[in-house]
């Protein structure tokens, strides 16, 4: 990767990925972007790298930034998540699908490589729930999931039809101590840490016994970088690889946190919309194809992630 544009750079993945990419490739080679003007952004813009306003619904804005900065790689993170998508499916479709189409078209015209995250949401109730294979039934029941399957297919199409080097992974719920997620179903697994430390009590909106795949952010960033650095001819699958690091239900993460914060308590107030989404997703996915094709291997499990999250959040919140 030589010159990288990140869309949705102020979000949960983008804000950490930017710092990591600056560390590896240098600040001159990274351009961050989001849909707002710099002085109007509600989230923190990272000062070390150039920032541009890029509304992914405006192809001319994408093309101009790609042209001006001589971008050769686009990491396209601008997207709406699952629960927020159910509240406004039309908006989700517009941003997730038309935004992706515009990015792919610019990538085709300007010969850019592109990374697009898919999600465990690309699976649905008729998918095998345990050890979900790489290639299996994908009939999701959420608008977010439908946009993710369509995105995977569209990216494959651009690779086969136009030779655009498209790559992606199916991310599980991502847990981090830097930026909060917004509007996802797996968000509880981030908020639980904040509440454990701030108030000592958490009301969980996902029912006990609901298993979902999860991953600590450092592993997610490594997945993006490692996949993008793999020789193209090693990849049989492109869009998108199953990747996971752990699978737990609310009780298991609660017990793990309680080892560090003994007075921590938890009760439940289930959000029916989120619960329905969670019930339609796998309990655990099989990521052996990613391990085989590009050497994917996570470093953190539930125990090591919990220790690190609590240590980092204690510093941040004090
Ligand atoms: C969500 O919950 O919507 C996301 C995801 C799994 O894609 N975190």
**What ipTM was predicted for this assembly?**
0.98
Q: Quick one: which of 278, 313, 301, 297 has its CA closest to 125?
A: 278
Prediction pTM value: 0.96
Please report the domains of the chain, with CATH numbers, ordered by start residue.
4-173+215-242 (3.40.50.720), 175-213+246-282+300-317 (3.90.25)
* Tokens 């989700």 sit on residue: 92
For a mutational test of ligand 1's pocket, the pick from 147, 171, 211, i.e. the residue with the most ligand atoms closer than 8 A to its C-beta, is 171
d(CA 244, CA 58): 33
d(CA 265, CA 246): 23
Atom of ligand 1 nearest to the CA of 185: 2
Measured CA angle at 290 (ends 217, 137), to 5 deg: 100
Tokens encoding 64: 């101009």
Tokens encoding 184: 């996802």
Atom 1 of ligand 1 has which residue's CA nearest to it?
A: 184
Q: Quick one: which of 203, 155, 193 has its CA closest to 173?
A: 193
Q: Is 254 one of the annotated active-site residues of the chain? A: no
Q: Cβ distance 257 to 165 under 8 Å?
A: no
Query: How many Å lie between the centroid of ligand 1 and the Cα of residue 69?
Result: 31
Atom 7 of ligand 1 has which residue's CA nearest to it?
A: 119
Q: Please report, in tens digits, the pLDDT of each residue of the chain (318 residues total).
A: 689 999 999 999 999 999 999 999 999 999 999 999 888 888 888 888 999 999 999 999 999 999 999 999 999 999 999 999 999 999 999 999 999 999 999 999 999 999 999 999 999 999 999 999 999 999 999 999 999 999 999 999 999 999 999 999 999 999 999 988 889 999 999 999 999 999 999 999 999 999 999 999 999 999 999 999 999 999 999 999 999 999 999 999 999 999 999 999 999 999 999 999 999 999 999 999 999 999 999 999 999 999 999 999 999 998
Atom of ligand 1 nearest to the CA of 83: 3
Catalytically annotated residue among 144, 158, 188, 216? 144
Q: Quick one: which of 106, 4, 28 has its CA closest to 64?
A: 106
Atom of ligand 1 nearest to the CA of 148: 7
For a mutational test of ligand 1's pocket, the pick from 172, 176, 205, 220, i.e. the residue with the most ligand atoms closer than 8 A to its C-beta, is 172
Atom 8 of ligand 1 has which residue's CA nearest to it?
A: 173
């Amino acid at each position: 990767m030589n010159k990288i544009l990140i869309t949705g750079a102020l979000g949960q993945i983008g804000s950490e990925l930017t710092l990591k990419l600056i560390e590896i490739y240098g600040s001159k080679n990274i351009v961050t972007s989001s849909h707002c003007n710099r002085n109007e952004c509600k989230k923190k813009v990272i000062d070390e790298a150039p920032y541009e306003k890029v509304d992914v619904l405006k192809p001319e804005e994408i093309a101009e930034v790609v042209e001006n900065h001589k971008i050769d790689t686009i990491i396209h993170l601008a997207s709406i998540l699952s629960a927020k998508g159910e509240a406004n499916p039309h908006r989700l479709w517009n941003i997730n699908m038309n935004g992706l189409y515009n990015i792919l078209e610019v990538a085709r015209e300007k010969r850019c490589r592109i990374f697009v995250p898919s999600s465990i949401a690309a699976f649905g109730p008729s998918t095998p729930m345990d050890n979900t294979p790489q290639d299996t039934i994908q009939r999701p029941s959420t608008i977010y999931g439908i946009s993710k399957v369509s995105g995977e297919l569209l990216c494959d199409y651009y690779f086969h039809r136009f030779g655009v080097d498209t790559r992606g992974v199916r991310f599980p719920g991502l847990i981090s101590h830097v930026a909060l997620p917004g509007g996802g179903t797996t968000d509880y697994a981030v908020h639980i840490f904040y509440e454990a430390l701030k108030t000592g009590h958490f009301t969980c909106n996902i029912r006990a016994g609901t298993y979902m795949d999860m991953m600590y952010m450092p592993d997610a960033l490594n997945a993006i970088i490692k996949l993008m650095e793999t020789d193209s001819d090693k990849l049989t699958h492109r869009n998108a690889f199953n990747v996971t690091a752990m699978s737990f239900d609310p009780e298991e993460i609660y017990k793990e946190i309680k080892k560090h914060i003994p007075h921590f308590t938890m009760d439940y107030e289930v959000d029916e919309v989120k619960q329905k989404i969670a019930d339609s997703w796998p309990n655990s996915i099989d990521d052996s194809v990613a391990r085989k094709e590009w050497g994917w291997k996570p470093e953190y499990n539930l125990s090591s992630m919990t220790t690190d999250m609590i240590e980092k959040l204690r510093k941040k919140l004090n």
